[in-house]
Amino acid sequence: MINPIYSPAPARYDSGMKYRRCGRSGILLPEISLGLWHNFGDVNPLSYSMAMLHYAFDHGITHFDLANNYGPSYGSAEETFGIVMEKSFAPYRDELFISTKAGYDMWPGPYGNWGSRKYLMASLDQSLRRMKLDYVDLFYSHRFDPETPLEETLQALVDIVRQGKALYVGISRWPAEAARKAYSYLAERDVRCLIYQGRYNMLDRADEAGGIISEAADNGVGYIAFSPLAQGLLTDRYLNGIPEDSRIALGGHLKSDSLTPGLLESVRKLNGLAAERGQSLAEMALAWILRDRKVTSVIVGASSTSQLQRNLSALESPAFSDEELQIIDSTNP
């Protein structure tokens, strides 16, 4: 069967998506972005991945977040995106904001990891080939490298922009002091850091407590949150135990010892509050992050279009009362 030619929804920018300015830049990002960490690799049916990407764009999601080793297997999420780019999105390239990263292990040997100039540049070249792109909109240093001189990593980012392989650069999960140095180094070379990507949710507020979010804003840098649902903990998934098909049961990044009795009590309390607000726990968790205007966007994952649809419902969330925020704060581990 020949797939019909993809035509995006004419009302994609009138479907309820809101856009926020990314720091002091000309870029607007959707409040909800789609991450391809899981469910877009070569172990997943291409038709499912394509359906989710189409649904996202049809509903105003213009930002797709990738990395060199997303899959599984490594590189396969970018390959999947490249197929969809070629078959569906090519005529709409200028409506898309595509990001990728390098920093974690990608290939064997001493040059396939961390933050050297050689690794970052080689990795981006590979990513562009896999995604069938001439450039990405945003390229990240995926993690801070304590061994490689900071100037080497940052100068590689500067040169990547000057070579036209990325329009903007960002950093992900860098410690506060290194992030401050990065903002300064890049600004001095007229390649400003566009955005900081960090883990942030109701159960993990380290970036808020440590000043990462505020310092990004003070430096004109956007902030984008990943793991907004704490890998499923901030859903109704684990309220009554560990399902057999869950990430914990299947031995994923989330471990069974992370679901302590105290944490489960907090999640149940949050779920009760969400029910009182007339929404799911996941919807409330996303809305809580977006309550802070210093946050540019939230990256969600999805295993189906219906799950993505439910996530988008967070955009219709009512404002939080002071009492509700106090209840949420009281559950902070």
At 294, list the tokens. 């210093």
Would you write out the chain's pLDDT as a tens digit for each of its 333 residues? 567 899 999 999 999 999 999 999 999 999 999 999 999 999 999 999 999 999 999 999 999 999 999 999 999 999 999 999 999 999 999 999 999 999 999 999 999 999 999 999 999 999 999 999 999 999 999 999 999 999 999 999 999 999 999 999 999 999 999 999 999 999 999 999 999 999 999 999 999 999 999 999 999 999 999 999 999 999 998 888 776 665 565 566 665 667 788 899 999 999 999 999 999 999 999 999 999 999 999 999 999 999 999 999 999 999 999 999 999 999 887
As a residue count, the chain comes to 333
Domain boundaries, the chain: 12-235+281-321
CATH 3.20.20.100 for domain 12-235+281-321: yes
Choose among 126, 147, 124: nearest CA to 137: 124
Choose among 34, 81, 40: nearest CA to 57: 34
Mention every residue, 6+ apart, whose C-beta is less than 8 A from residue 37: 67, 70, 77, 226, 301
pTM recorded for the entire structure: 0.95
